[in-house]
Amino acid sequence: MDACCKVGAVTDRYGLEHGVEGMDLEAYLLARWRGDEEYAATGLRPLSDWFNRKVLKTVYNEHGRNALDTRVQSDYQALSDDDSSVALRDDLAADGIDGERLQSDFVSATTLYRHFTNCLGVTKSDERSESGAESTWEQEKIAYARDIVRTNAEESLRSLENKGRLPRGSEATIKTEIVLGCPECGTQVSVERAIERGYICADHSDQE
C-alpha cells in the first residue's frame, strides 16, 4: 500500500507507527497538535522536530549508537544545518548510517501540516465547529505563518554563525510577534490582543 505522503512514507520506513503513550504515532501527534487528551496544544515546528528526532533515535538504536536524548538532540541540530553536518555525516558513515538519507527523510513543519490537513482531513478547529462554537482556523493560520518565519530565521542564524558572521546567532531569542497598525493613526497592537478584544484601535474601530 502506497504511503499517503512523505510523513507516511517515513513512518513506514522506520517503523514509527508503534504506540506512544498508549496511542499510535498519528493519534499522538494529532492529540498534541490539537491539545486533546489533556495535552497542551503544540505548534507544528516542535512536533516536526520531535518526529525527526524519533527517526534519528530509531536509527541510532538499530546501529548500536549512543541514543541518549542529549546526544540525539545535539546531532539533530547539526544535521539540520548543511554547513555543520559534514563532519557528523562522516562519523555516521563509520557506523553504517547514511547521514544524507537521514537528512532527506526529515520532515518540515509545512509537510506535517499538509499531512494533518490533506491526508487526515483534520484541523484544530474541527471539534469546535461541529459543536457550534466559533472556528479558530484563522488563528491557526497565523500561528502556522509564525512557525514558518521562526524556522527560516533559525536556519539563517545558524548559517551566519557557522560562517563566522554572527557568533552565537543560533542561541538568540527570536520573537515573531505579529503587530497590527491602525490604518487611521499610529496605534499598534498584537494580533492576538486585537482578536481578543475585537478591534485594532478603539477610536477608529467603527470607521468605514
What residues pair up with 181 in beta bridges, in sequence order?
188
The Cα 135–Cα 98 span in angstroms is 44
DSSP letter, residue 20: B
Question: What residues contact 181, with CB distance under 8 A and at least 6 apart?
Answer: 187, 188, 200
The SS3 call for residue 23 is strand
Parse the chain into domains and list their residue ranges.
6-133, 178-208
pLDDT of residue 38: 79
Provide the residue-wise pLDDT of the chain in tens; the chain has 208 residues: 566 889 999 999 999 887 677 788 888 999 888 888 778 888 888 899 999 999 999 999 999 999 998 899 989 988 887 666 788 889 999 999 999 999 999 998 888 988 998 898 887 764 444 433 444 567 777 777 777 787 888 888 888 888 889 988 888 878 778 889 888 888 888 887 887 777 888 787 764 4
Q: What is the pTM of this model?
A: 0.63
17-to-9, 64, 155 alpha-carbon distances in Å: 11, 21, 29
